[in-house]
Amino acid sequence: MTTLQQSVEPVLPCGCGQVPGEWQLMSGGGVSDRKVRVGGRDVEFEVAARWVRSYFDESANRAAAAAKGVKPFAYPAYDRMTTGSGPDELNDGDLIAPLLLNAGPTIAAVYSLHAVRPALEAGLAAIPQDLALQTAVAHGRHGPLLESLIGVLDVPGKVPGIGLTKLTKILHRKRPLFIPLFDQQVKACYYSTDANYPMHPTPGRPDAVFFSTLAECMTRDLEEQPEQWEALASQAPGDVSRLRILDVVAWKLAPTRPRQQHLDELRLAWLSLRHYPVAGWSDRSCWPHCIAVKAFSATASSCRPIMRALP
């Protein structure tokens, strides 16, 4: 039976060294042999686990930020951003937090947010800080609570320049257990004319209703695959919510991803390897096995320019 073990010095697949804090997945018919479903799409569990480990690797992200030509992931810059506001408050720092997820509001949009800030803060105050989305859905409480926040978008012209993507990236940090993140990648996983997807085009549906329905679909994915999501959560720091992890997996499941993003991830993986005291890292033949990123098994022509660019 598959077991998930954490140890001080887990062994990498190639046996050339050890990476502190990583998890070792033992094969044998358990979680690692299953798929993770997000809406109408799915991915092998081990692939999703690599995505989560890579995204939430704080040391590698900080190393990438200090390097040239590579973009770090947003953890912990977005998730632990300090603005000085309380859990029910949205100061100007909170309003521009989506910048760290490449969805920053314009100056005009910030002024629009000022106008609805009292309504948003009142909506947050009505949501207990420890309320999980799954619990709210189970008791039918999620609809009114989400509508009190997302409903500001359903008043024509009320918040110009702000849509679901920016608004949820502002609000998620305040209630990470309850408010999901949304963007086009998440939408691509849940919304389609394809019968295999849980949400379908509905003309005239308000944003608040759309988002409430999306929250129910996300909850269903979490509830129907408890072992997979628990195992994925073990690949991330303890302060990361299931909804944040689901967002990362959905983002990676996007139908097309630019070549530059692919190259950035190769470089970040290499920086992650260099960060750890792994014996034998200079042996390039070992890299495809040491790095928990499939892309490093790509052709030499894809990897060589990146290797040359790094010291």
For the record, the structure tokens of 58 come out as: 């704080």
Question: What letter would DSSP give residue 295?
Answer: G
Inside any domain, residue 263: no
The structure tokens 């499939």 sit at 294
CA distance 270 to 268: 5
Are the beta carbons of 108 and 160 closer than 8 angstroms? Answer: yes
Per the structure, how many domains does the chain have?
Answer: 1
Q: Which two tokens stand for residue 94?
A: 């909170």
Domain of residue 193 covers 92-228
Residue 254 belongs to a domain = no
pLDDT digits (tens, 9 = 90+) for 102-114: 999 999 999 999 9
pTM of the model: 0.76
For residue 268, being part of any structural domain is answered with: no
Output b/e per residue, 257-289; b: 16+ Cβ within 10 A: eeeeeebbbbbbbbbbbbebebeebeeeebbbe
State CA 136 to chain mean position distance.
21
Least confident of 78-87, 158-167, 208-217, 283-292: 283-292
Residue 55 lies in a domain: no
In a domain, 245, yes or no: no
pLDDT of 306 strictly over 50? no
Q: Is residue 276 part of a domain?
A: no
Q: What is the pLDDT of residue 68?
A: 86
52, pLDDT greater than 80? yes
Has residue 217 been placed in a domain? yes
Position 200 in a domain: yes
